[in-house]
Amino acid sequence: MSSQAYPISNIPVSGAVDPAFWSQDLNDSPPLTLQLSPTPSSATQDSVHSLTPPAQTPKSDSGRNAQNGQGSQNGTQNRASVAVACVPCRSRHLKCDGGVRCSRCRVDGVDCTYIKSRRGWKGKRKRPGENGAGPAPGQEGSSMLQSALINTNLTSRSVQSLSPEFAYSTELAVANQLSTAPNGMGMVATAPLHAQEQLNLNGTQRRNQFGHVGPPTAIQSFYHYFYNAHPFVLPQGPLISLLKERRAPLLEHAVQYIGASFIPEISTDIYKEALNRIVNSGNYPRDGYSVQALLLFAIGLHANNEVPRAAQIFGIAQNLTLETGLHRIDYAILNGNNDRQLEESWRRTWWSMYTVNGMMSAVNPGVQFRLKDIATDVPLPCENDEYFSGQIPYPQTLQDYDDSAFAAEEIAFSSFTYLIDAIRNLGKVFEVSRLDASFEYHAVDVVDSYLVNWRLHLPASKLEIVDNDGRIDEVLFQAHMVNAGSTIMLHRPRSNLGFGRVENVNICVQPGQVLLPTQTREIHTAKCLTSAENISSLIKLPGKLVHHTPFFTCVVVMASVVHLSYWSFLVPDGQDDIIKQSIRLDVGTLQQYSHTWGIASVVLGQVRGVAHTLFNSKKAMSIHLWNNIAQDDVIRGVIEEGVSEPLENYSTLLTPMLKS
């Protein structure tokens, strides 16, 4: 027998569901279908034959009236609507009493602040049975159907018509990992606004795209998309336990802000405004968890093209890093609670601040590489797999790494270590990018040696970014990315690649400044082109681009500038199509990132504009060349005597001249 689907919007809601959870008639929502099993139970078969789902079996009028009376009484006694909920209650989707300092914030000891709703209050919620309200729910139906309705996603319109505490956020609070947290603390369980949930044949819920039961959440999105590229906060399990204890309120918002960026249905505004308000007030703990939160916030702001604000937040993070002493070895020991995984997290926090400081300095004009000159004795991070499993080995030091080149045999370090070394080399590139009286030009060749040695001394296990299972080592990916970008930054100002044709691309790249070459300009040009092709190779690795660090967007821009400059006037015969394909690869990558990060959307328009201008210029040049060829006496003579000329002679003669 073929399976049949019934629209859930036509099925009365069970009395087990909170009537206030639904703010409008379910018929306004897109129909959700409950797929029946190919081998249904006898009860289900009877329902199918009668074309009436079990939950639609009518009750007697007396039973319905009794339920309506009880629902009205409970709603009057237990639910009081307020104009707007405070930010802490709203972000956790908890009931707020709307006081100057609400009762929950007084109990939790947190700052109680209010933000005006963007949609305004639509009045008190109408109870079932009142004029204009949806139909009163019945108590019939199987437990399986009740479970499906409780976890059903709502449309955007239904979310917007919820009570005032939901007006600011497009998310629903449902039971999730943190629903049993003390003091009412619960992670916001973010529900996509398109209907997608169905039941398995045994009545259990299907898992979402992140492998969890229930709607996908911002914290699940954070660990799925972002965490492998910047793994410095605790792994998911320990972090959830930490957030349950309310020990890192700022970090909670920051993780959700990053995670929400990957789910289009979830607005990041509520998290961003909460973070801005807390940071501006200064009312947050002065500890390592706040450093982690500020670092995440700065990365997200820069990726969303809020570049000046990202620089401000990162500056605050730098000051707090030095204030707390994260750059000292004893911080992890004193604040690790005898937990080796937590100690490793603190070491990773310092080195993540260091590496992100280098990358931000390269692409954000408001950030200086301050941490480059800070003396540190923090040991090096271990491999990600060791960190995630909690099997933390005895840490190695930066001195061990520097001495390894002279060891009797090859020594392999963690991927994070090679990223740290790539950032150190980037700092040396910054030092030789200035022009002053004390500058020595041979220093450029010394820095070039650092960049080349980084690649030459990679152990065999770090030459391949993709493992045997097809997984990309995202930290090692960043290390190769930084090395390629540093090479372009060092050599492009000294090459034949001009700045005039690509000056309209001004995001993620340094302003045009032609410097004196230390070798021939052709050598500097060749090294730029090689690094740009290395970046193209990173783009072509298997897997989704969105899993890479947001800073990869800016490195792709650096490669596109090199390709566009080369295409504008230096392309030799026969290579025009090759360089055009490289430009298409750059544009396609930025287009993919534009769906997630705002900065990619802006710079995509700039790169496309330059490419369009160059294409039209080269096309006009080709037409002009053809006109000149047509007026040439020799060519005219060949055309006039063409009856005796083989066809291939025309191709041999004209093709080199028509190439752009």
pLDDT digits (tens, 9 = 90+) for 237-281: 999 999 999 889 999 999 999 999 999 888 999 999 999 999 999
| pLDDT score for 351 | 98
Closest by CA position to 465, among listed 482, 451, 479: 479
| pLDDT score for 623 | 54
508 and 590 in a single domain? The answer is yes
Q: Which two tokens stand for residue 536?
A: 């193209």
| pLDDT score for 552 | 97
- pTM of the predicted structure, to 2 decimals: 0.69
| pLDDT score for 111 | 80
Higher per-residue confidence, 34 vs 221 = 221
391 and 415 in a single domain? The answer is no
CA 18 to chain centre: 35
| pLDDT score for 536 | 96
Decide if 70 is inside a domain. no
First-to-last alpha carbon distance for the chain, in angstroms, is 65
DSSP string, 293-330: HHHHHHHHHHHTT-HHHHHHHHHHHHHHHHHHTTTSHH
351 and 286 in a single domain? The answer is yes
| pLDDT score for 517 | 86
356 and 404 in a single domain? The answer is no
Q: What percent of the chain has pLDDT over 70?
A: 67
Q: Which of 361, 395, 429 is the last residue of a domain?
A: 395
Q: In this structure, which long-range contacts are made by residues 222-228, counting pairs with CB atoms below 8 Å and at least 24 apart in sequence? A: 222/255, 222/256, 222/258, 222/259, 222/262, 223/259, 224/262, 225/259, 225/262, 225/546, 225/547, 226/258, 226/259, 226/262, 228/384, 228/474, 228/475, 228/547
288 and 253 in a single domain? The answer is yes
Please give the average per-residue pLDDT across 340-345, as a whole number.
Answer: 97
| Cβ neighbour number for residue 458 with a 10 Å cutoff | 17
CA 222 to chain centre: 8
Decide if 560 is inside a domain. yes
Please give the average per-residue pLDDT across 61-85, as a whole number.
Answer: 50
Q: Which residues of 359-384 are buried (b: 16+ CB within 10 A; e: fewer)?
A: bbbbbbeebbbebbeeeeebbbbbbb
Task: Render pLDDT for 492-517 as a digit per residue (tens, 0 to 9).
Answer: 999 988 777 777 787 888 776 788 88
* DSSP secondary structure letter of residue 81: -
Domains held by the chain: number:
2
**Rounded distance, CA 541 to CA 141, Å?**
50
Q: Name the least confident of 182-186, 336-340, 587-591.
A: 182-186
369 and 422 in a single domain? The answer is no
Decide if 648 is inside a domain. no
**Rounded distance, CA 25 to CA 224, Å?**
35
378 and 413 in a single domain? The answer is no
| pLDDT score for 439 | 63
Q: Is residue 63 predicted with pLDDT exceeding 50?
A: no
Name residue 442's amino acid: H
Decide if 637 is inside a domain. no
CA distances (Å), origin 445, targets 449, 490, 524: 6, 10, 11
**Rounded distance, CA 262 to CA 257, Å?**
10
φ/ψ of 7, rounded to 5, equals -65, 125
**Rounded distance, CA 264 to CA 193, Å?**
9
Closest by CA position to 8, among listed 23, 29, 37: 29
Closest by CA position to 200, among listed 151, 155, 153: 151
616 and 481 in a single domain? The answer is yes
| pLDDT score for 379 | 97
| pLDDT score for 512 | 67
493 and 606 in a single domain? The answer is yes
Higher per-residue confidence, 585 vs 2 = 585
Decide if 568 is inside a domain. yes
373 and 415 in a single domain? The answer is no
Closest by CA position to 230, among listed 416, 425, 362, 484: 416
The three-point CA angle 36-39-42 to 5° equals 90
432 and 561 in a single domain? The answer is yes
Q: Is residue 463 predicted with pLDDT exceeding 80?
A: yes
Higher per-residue confidence, 396 vs 81 = 396
**Rounded distance, CA 554 to CA 508, Å?**
5
Task: Label residue 630 exposed, middle or buried (CB < 10 Å: 0-12, 13-18, 19+).
Answer: exposed
The domain of 443 spans 396-623
Decide if 154 is inside a domain. no
The answer to whether residues 597 and 304 touch, using CB atoms and an 8 Å cutoff, is yes
**Rounded distance, CA 158 to CA 29, Å?**
7
Q: How confident is the prediction for the chain on average, in pLDDT?
A: 76
Q: Which of 373, 395, 417 is the last residue of a domain?
A: 395
Decide if 207 is inside a domain. no
Please give the average per-residue pLDDT across 191-209, as a whole number.
Answer: 64
Q: Is residue 41 predicted with pLDDT exceeding 80?
A: no
Q: Which of 365, 395, 425 is the last residue of a domain?
A: 395
Higher per-residue confidence, 518 vs 229 = 229
Name residue 122's amino acid: K
Q: Is residue 64 predicted with pLDDT exceeding 60?
A: no
The answer to whether residues 117 and 160 touch, using CB atoms and an 8 Å cutoff, is no
CA distances (Å), origin 44, targets 10, 16, 49, 58, 204: 17, 21, 9, 16, 16
Decide if 78 is inside a domain. no
| Cβ neighbour number for residue 550 with a 10 Å cutoff | 23
522 and 567 in a single domain? The answer is yes
Task: Render pLDDT for 378-413 as a digit per residue (tens, 0 to 9).
Answer: 999 999 999 999 999 999 999 999 999 899 999 999
* DSSP secondary structure letter of residue 155: P
Torsion of CA 629, 634, 639, 641, to 10 degrees: 180
Closest by CA position to 475, among listed 386, 403, 365, 375: 386
Higher per-residue confidence, 190 vs 520 = 520
For residue 637, the number of C-alpha atoms closer than 13 Å in the C-beta half-sphere is 3
Residues in the chain: 660
| Cβ neighbour number for residue 20 with a 10 Å cutoff | 17
Task: Render pLDDT for 313-336 as a digit per residue (tens, 0 to 9).
Answer: 999 999 999 999 999 999 999 999
Q: Which two tokens stand for residue 375?
A: 């003396």
